[in-house]
Amino acid sequence: MTETTGVPPAFNVPALARQGHSVRLLSHSLAHQQLSHAYLFKGPVPLGLELALALTRAIFCSQQGCGECHVCKAVNNELYPDLYVIRGEGEGQNPTLKLGQIHKLVGQVSLPPVQSSHQIFILVAAENMNKEGSNALLKTLEEPASNSIIILLTPLLERVLPTIRSRTQILPLTAPMPDTQFLLNQSPTPEKFWSWEQLETIQTPALLPQLIEQLESLNPAELNLQLQIFQRGCWTKIQSFIVEKRSGIGLKRAYAYLKLFETGLEQLRANVNPRLISTTLAHQFLTLRRSR
């Protein structure tokens, strides 16, 4: 990421190269001392954690995140005394953020920082909070401490309580996209998948059944891969348009295409019926193609 005027050094790391909107917003808030008491970073958890630690370095380091001092190194190793990274406990791919962990956070929020102006709490995979934990956290978000910042990380916004979402500042993260050939190499049968160019041929209702048939012929793992291929192909096609911002209407449509595939991928992760995803996505895609 090229260093930008007004952007603290903490954010000038390669992993955050595509997070321009979020970085600008956080940089502005830092410069004007208007940081929110709670954020929700929506996107891949490793990317959200990278941004959360960058924000922490920018706040705690006297040089706004130089990356070399003992403070930055302690933050990177999650050893700084005013930083609390909270991960789920238990076995399996989705360990639960338990009530006891949230109660410990709530108790710590009421205490003063040890070495810095703030305490920062990072909840990893916040969608794994149970109902009791969510309700306990909600009370703290409703009555925030002025010297504490709570950051929730999740790729699944819909699984976080709406009342919690409404009390946080939500920052969507742009996931790094592998190229199409890399994606195709993940499958033993790459010939099964459509390219973005094939998808673009679907321009009339008469052609819609072809798209639905293609999507419904894939198992959930293959459908996941197909949507990523479409997403990558779409990005390659329109990224210059997005950067140049040629028109407000065109820019809105460009983002709508990307959002369409992102929503389908989120629904797959949430175990929504793949046939429903396929049908809905196909109809929404055609609607976008025919809009002017």
pLDDT, average across residues 29-48: 91
pLDDT of 129: 92
pLDDT for 86-105, tens place per residue?
998 765 556 789 999 999 99
Q: Tell me, yes or no, whether 4 lies in a domain.
A: no
Residue 276 lies in a domain: yes
- C-alpha distance across the termini of the chain, in Å: 35
The vertex-97 CA angle with 92 and 98, nearest 5°, equals 110
CATH number of residue 15's parent domain? 3.40.50.300
**Distances 253 to 208, 265, 289 between C-alpha atoms, Å:** 20, 19, 9
For 70-108, letters b (16+ CB in 10 Å) and e give ebbebbeeeebebbbbbebeeeeeeeebbbebbeebeee
The last residue of one of the domains, among 147, 172, 197, is 172
In angstroms, the CA 132 to CA 102 distance is 9
Q: Which of 138, 172, 206 is the last residue of a domain?
A: 172
My answer on whether 150 and 24 are in the same domain is: yes
Residue-wise pLDDT tens digits, 4-21: 447 999 998 877 877 888
Do residues 134 and 74 both lie within one domain? yes
Confidence of residue 241 (pLDDT cuts 50, 70, 90): low
**Residue 69 and residue 30 in one domain:** yes
C-alpha distance from residue 171 to each of 7, 165, 257 (Å): 17, 11, 19
Q: Do residue 231 and residue 209 come from a single domain?
A: yes
The confidence score (pLDDT) of residue 1 equals 34
Tally of domains in the chain: 2
The band of 242, judged by pLDDT with boundaries at 50, 70 and 90, is low
Statement to judge: residues 214 and 255 lie in one domain: yes
Round to whole Å and give the CA distance between 244 and 253.
14
Same domain, yes or no: 47 and 154: yes
Cα angle value 44/118/61 (rounded, 5°): 75
| Residues whose CB falls within 8 Å of the CB of residue 205, separated by 6 or more in sequence, listed in order | 286
Query: Is 267 a member of any domain?
Result: yes
Residues 37 and 124 in one domain: yes
pLDDT at 3 over 50: no
pLDDT at 248: 57
Report the C-alpha gap between 40 and 143 in whole angstroms. Answer: 17
Phi, psi (rounded to 5 degrees) for 41: -90, 110
pLDDT higher at 172 or 178: 172
Is 240 in the same domain as 189?
A: yes
In a domain, 272, yes or no: yes
Q: Residue 240 above 90 pLDDT?
A: no
In a domain, 52, yes or no: yes
Q: Are residues 134 and 78 in the same domain?
A: yes
CA distances from 190 to 155, 186, 218, 219 (A): 27, 8, 12, 14
What pLDDT score was predicted for residue 19?
83
In a domain, 190, yes or no: yes
228 and 165 in a single domain? The answer is no
Is the model's pLDDT at 184 over the cut of 90?
A: no
Cα 57 to Cα 158, 237, 263, distances in angstroms = 29, 36, 32
145 with 35: CB under 8 angstroms? no
Residues 76 and 206 in one domain: no
Boundary of a domain, candidates 172, 189, 215? 172
Residue 2 within a domain:
no
Instruction: Determine the structural domain holding residue 274 and report its residue range.
Output: 180-290
Q: Are residues 57 and 157 in the same domain?
A: yes
Single-letter code of the amino acid located at 147: N
- Kindly state whether residue 105 falls inside one of the protein's structural domains: yes
